[in-house]
Amino acid sequence: MRRRAYHDGVRRAAPSRPAVAGAHQRRSRDIVVLGVDLASVRWADVGTALVWCNAATGGITRVATGVIDWPVASPVTADALADAVHACAVREGATAVALDGPHAWRDPARGGDGPGVGRLAEFAVRAQCKAGVYPRTFPGTQQAWTRLSIAVFDALLAREGVRMATPDDASVTWDQGARSARGGPTYAGAATARANAPHSPAGYLLLESFPTASWRASGLPPLPAKARRPDVAAFYARLADAFALPAADVASHDDLQALVAALAGVGVAGGPVDTRAHGAPHREVPHTDGPHRVEGWIWDARPLAPREKSGPAKNGDSPPHTLRGSSCD
């Protein structure tokens, strides 16, 4: 099946892809992050985006959306999603992969006491959709989406060199003279990402990101639900101003949310984004259905510092530890 061209402001034939070794070598120059906005019913509702940061210039140099061709002739399953996401991450030499969807359940040790009915992270970010003590979800209509999302995380974590990101991975920021989010020293982001990333050539950091939290934490109006048909291009323009993003043809609601999810991964990977983790470390608990993960972190993204709103740069060129939306799936 022919891979479609990236939606990065310039329509072009789909580029050829390097082998895994070539993609791994690119890490000496770039941080690459893949974002995915998960859906459980239709492939058309799964958003994807890639973000590139150049280690030499210290900025986000390119974004692209609609970067995965899904097996649309087959039903949406966790294994099919994970296979396609992992293949893209390996092909592009991704340092991090950020998914908009839950990766764990509420810890049963917390009992029925608060806060909230879901995970600590979901309470912290005011998530509308919550994963309760296995197998409950709130609302109950989100059972299929929650199970599929957690299963996608499971399938990706079964790959060699893939692990969940922790706050220690994001303890420093890009070396732009900005203070780190945790008050510590600053480093060159690419070097930090290579030090913290899994050692396998095909490895990457995996994280749960919540785009609505990032919109709010950035001081931007959150992207409304898709049913309200917001002006996606206008929302991307605001995001580009805030994060110094290059110009891009972002027309899909789902792809824009995937791009926002990817920005949290940029910060985790050591790029020029302030990212924060909300929640508590995950752990495994036993169950008659088999062990499952509970709690864990949800990440948001925010600009390192305000900047003049001069509009997005050309795509491909370098510019000189709280808040869920109206739709879960």
Q: What are the tens digits of pLDDT across the range 96-154?
A: 999 999 999 999 999 887 799 999 999 999 998 999 999 999 999 999 999 999 999 99
What is the average pLDDT value for the chain, to the nearest integer? 81
Q: For residue 255, is it within any domain?
A: yes
Has residue 223 got a pLDDT over 70?
yes
Task: Let me know if residue 10 belongs to a domain.
Answer: no
Q: Which of 325, 324, 293, 20 is nearest to 156 (CA)?
A: 293
Question: Does residue 295 fall inside a structural domain?
Answer: yes
**Higher confidence at residue 280 or residue 170?**
280
pLDDT at site 315: 57
3-state helix, strand, coil in the chain (%, to 5): 30, 20, 45
Name the more confident of 203 and 68. 68
CA-wise closest residue to 268 among 86, 47, 84, 94: 94
Q: Find the largest Cα–Cα distance for the chain.
A: 57
Distance of alpha carbon 255 from alpha carbon 211, whole angstroms = 11
With respect to residue 307, please indicate whether it lies within any of the assigned structural domains: no
- Which CA distances in Å does 67 have to 35, 233, 255, 301? 10, 18, 9, 21
Can you spell out the DSSP letters for 13-72? PPPP---HHHHHHGGGTEEEEEEEE--SS-GGG-EEEEEEEETTTTEEEEEEE------T
pLDDT at 291 over 50: yes
* 319 within domain boundaries: no
Q: What pLDDT shows up at residue 180?
A: 34
Position 3 in a domain: no
Q: Residue 174 — very low, low, confident or very high, per pLDDT cuts 50/70/90?
A: very low
- Over residues 277-303, the mean pLDDT reads 96
Give 4-38 pLDDT, tens digit per residue.
Answer: 444 433 322 333 333 333 343 444 458 999 999 99
pLDDT at 177: 32
The answer to whether position 90 is within a domain reads yes
- pLDDT at position 312 is 53
Q: What is the pLDDT of residues 183-222, one digit of tens each?
A: 332 223 333 444 455 545 679 999 999 999 999 999 999 9
Mean pLDDT of 173-184: 34
Residue 26 CA to residue 20 CA, distance in Å, equals 10
Cα separation, 166 vs 206, whole angstroms: 9
- Give residue 233's domain range: 22-302
Question: Is 59 in contact with 307 (CB distance < 8 Å)?
Answer: no
- What is the domain count for the chain? 1
Q: Is the pTM of this model over 0.75?
A: yes
Does 325 reside within a domain?
no
Q: What is the dihedral of CA 256, 282, 200, 190, to 10 degrees?
A: 60
